[in-house]
Amino acid sequence: MIYKVRDIKFCIALLKKYHPDIYVRNNYAEKIENLIKEANHEFLEKTSMAVSLINERDENEILRVWPVLDDFITDTRAFERAMTTVIDSWY
């Protein structure tokens, strides 16, 4: 997803320079900014939850809650797929 965000930011920069009317009309700057904020929030939330889960437990307890960590990964991947779909719809 990071590469897609980078690519779309580049495309938006080109659009701003060469077609400012389309850039302004479609509000691309705000859209990409909101997408990045949402992605950062999601990442920080899941990472913080995982760190808290691990820090509060010993090795055996971590192994017992491993399915929860897997759920964090599954949720993060689903979020990334959804964001990728959004970015792909902008092309």
Q: Give the residue with greater pLDDT, 5 vs 1.
A: 5
- If residue 67 lies in a helix (H) or strand (E), which one and from where to where? helix 66-90
pLDDT digits (tens, 9 = 90+) for 44-75: 999 999 999 999 899 999 999 999 999 999 99
Question: What pLDDT score was predicted for residue 52?
Answer: 93
- Look up the pTM and report it: 0.72
Could you give the dihedral angle defined by the CA atoms of residues 30, 34, 35 and 38, in that order, rounded to the nearest 10 degrees? 180
Domain segments of the chain as ranges: 2-90
Check pLDDT > 80 for residue 90.
no
Q: Which residue has the tokens 């808290």?
A: 52
User: From CA 29, how far away is CA 74, in angstroms rounded?
Assistant: 29
pLDDT tens for each residue of 27-46: 877 888 888 899 899 999 99
